[in-house]
Amino acid sequence: MLGRREGQSPLFSAQSVPHRVPPDSFYGRMASVSQALFRDEDLEEMYDVSNGRPSIPPSLLSGVLLLQFHDDVSDTEAVQRLQFDLRWQVALDLPTNYAGFDPSSLSYFRQRLIEHEKERYAFDRFVAVGRAAGFIADRVTLLTDTTPVKGAGAVQDTYTLLRKGIRKLLKQIGYTGSRKRQGLSSATQRLVTTYLERDRKANIDWSNPTQRATQLQILVQDAEAVLELAQAQSDNADVRATGWLLTKIMGDDLTQDDQGQAQIAQGTAPDRIISITDPEMRHGRKSSAVRFNGFKAAVSTELSSELILDIADMSASRGDGQELGSIVTRVEENAGVTVAEVIGDGAYGSGENRAACAAHLPDPVELVSPLAVPNDPAVDKSAFQIDLQAQTATCPQGYTVNAHAGPSSNGLPTWRFTFPRVLCATCPLFERCVKSKTAGRTVATHPHEVLLQAARAQQQTDEFKTRYRQRCPIERKQAELVQHGLRNTRFLGDPKRQLQRLWIGAAVNLKRLFRLAETRRVDLRASFQCLDAPQMHLQGI
């Protein structure tokens, strides 16, 4: 049954006794709005309103969860702070002798939030308060960027991936039960014994290439045998998912030699699985020299208020700009605003993103993003003067050629401009410009070449440079999120990961709301009360 907090402070409230918690600290400011911060009624649907014992009030659990992610502590440590940390007791308006509760209650509460699709509760509530207080306008400018985030699973090599994948599939089939093991063939019994009962790496000399190659053949044969056993339960969704996982590992990591023997493939598949524990983890690169394993967290803030309007995971192997359309959609749907402009680094300035922003409804979104800086500007495509109307291209040395049709992309035409090799051979830039052994330089247009040309011209202006410098606060905001534990993923599975990102974002947003209320002299408690008035709702204020 839904438990509710009392409408008044407890008799021995930490707020009512002399304490040294600074009123301008996060805890002291949180205490000033503690009774309005969260409402039990908002999460009422997560509980039976009439049956069972009263639960721990969800408004209290929400406050604990917020402080837990703000201080980046475990469930056990969070409960201990409720009992012994005066800062937490003041922030949540608890008595100094508060007995606490079992740490598992926080785990159950997070699961309830996910099951009832309430993981965005605190984040959306604080954004709505920002709108009610007048900090966020109806039309906003987004600053967006990504930051690398570690996954919660261990990064595993191909041998371990195969072994763990076989073990997981055998479990999904049901061979952990004693009844399922009755009457097994000797081959199947060996698989069960090797991968379920022992679960350890083979006892071989791993520095010996021959022994490693032999062990790889055994793992591949066993994986194929388990996949064949799984076909009898293809109607089981878990078996299908694990079977696909094991098949993908074999396809990404293995190749065959001339004798048909399995070998570790050279190079890395673009979407390679790196962990059975957390199959959604991927290799990622922040630069050519910096590699990480896990995810990217895409963060978008509003320019004037610096409040976070969106935070979500994306695959580490995907380019930053590939999620721009999804970011704009989520911000408009969840925050109830219209995105008028997006400022991002060069990763967001692709022709596809510019076209999508131009086609955005009801009004186009202006994208302020530079094009990538070429390695050799003198011979880069940008050094060629391409006239799409006349269908001609002029090289840096002044030679002009006509276009011929190139392959279409998504129904959009492209053009190719090929310069004669005999002409290129006389150019002083020949060695730097021409890579072909037989032909001259070829320049191809992009399907959205018109937009790219306009962007290239725009970024040379002083206006563009001034506007682009406005993106700096997003870097500071990401650093603040990292200080609260953003980079260390606590949970497995997308819903739980997303809950962690959102509640860290909510804690950072609440800090910003306190600062904005102070500098702009706004009564934040009144904004919470205004939000909770019957005529108000969380979106579209």
Task: Dump pLDDT digits (tens) for 95-107.
Answer: 999 999 999 999 9
Where residue 267 falls (left for φ over 0; alpha for ψ -120 to 50; beta otherwise) is: left
416 in Cβ contact with 442 (< 8 Å): yes
Within 13 Å, how many C-alpha atoms sit on residue 440's CB side? Answer: 16
pLDDT given at position 197: 85
**Confidence bin at 534 (pLDDT 50/70/90):** low
Residue 145 pairs in a beta bridge with 299
Range of weakest confidence among 171-185, 192-206, 290-304, 460-474: 171-185
Other C-beta atoms within 10 Å of 255: how many?
12
Please report the pLDDT score of residue 540 as a whole number. Answer: 43
- Whole-number pLDDT of residue 535: 46
Q: How much of the chain exceeds pLDDT 90, in percent?
A: 73
- Can you tell me the mean pLDDT for 20-25? 92
pLDDT higher than threshold 80 for residue 248? yes
Q: Is 199 left (phi over 0), alpha (psi -120 to 50) or beta?
A: left
Of 49 and 477, the structure prediction assigns the larger pLDDT to 477
Contact 362, 387 (CB under 8 A): no
Task: Provide the pLDDT confidence category of residue 131 given band limits of 50, 70 and 90.
Answer: very high
Kindly report the three-state secondary structure assignment for every residue of 327-385: HHHHHHHHHCCEEEEEECCHHHCCHHHHHHHHCCCCCCCEEECCCCCCCCCCCCHHHCE
Q: Which residues contact 44 (CB under 8 A, 6 or more apart)?
A: 2
3-state SS string for 435-468: CCCCCCCEEECCCCHHHHHHHHHHCCCHHHHHHH
Task: Record the tokens describing residue 340, joined without a space.
Answer: 């008028």
With residues binned 3-state (H G I as helix, E B as strand, rest as coil), the percentages for the chain, rounded to 5, are 45, 15, 40
- Taking the C-alpha atoms of residue 519 and residue 24, their distance in angstroms, rounded to an integer, is 13
Interval 202-210 mean pLDDT: 92
* pLDDT band at residue 53 using 50, 70 and 90 as cut-offs: confident
pLDDT band at residue 434 using 50, 70 and 90 as cut-offs: very high
Q: What is the pLDDT of residue 269?
A: 86
Does residue 364 have a cis peptide bond before it, meaning omega lies within 30 degrees of 0? no
Would you kindly state where each structural domain of the chain is located, as residue ranges? Answer: 1-118, 120-153+281-370+476-541, 158-264, 381-458
pLDDT at 175 over 90: no
Q: Which of 177, 157, 272 is nearest to 219 (CA)?
A: 157
Residues 56-85: tens digit of each pLDDT? 999 999 999 999 999 999 999 999 999 999
Is the per-residue pLDDT at 124 higher than 90? yes
In this model, does residue 182 exceed pLDDT 80?
Answer: no
Q: What is the identity of the amino acid at 329?
A: T
- β-partners of residue 338 are 139
Least-confidence region, from 408-422, 504-518, 526-540: 526-540
Q: Which residue has the tokens 């039960």?
A: 177
pLDDT at 536: 45
- CATH of range 120-153+281-370+476-541; options 3.20.20.80, 3.30.870.10, 3.30.70.20, 3.30.420.10: 3.30.420.10
pLDDT digits (tens, 9 = 90+) for 362-417: 999 999 999 988 889 999 999 999 999 999 999 999 999 999 988 887 788 899 99
Q: Find the farthest-apart pair of alpha carbons in the chain and give their distance in angstroms, rounded.
A: 93
DSSP state of 172: H
Q: State the helix-helix crossing angle for 524-531 and 121-132, rounded to 10 degrees.
A: 110
Strand residue runs (E) in 167-320: 254-256, 262-264, 282-285, 291-302, 308-315
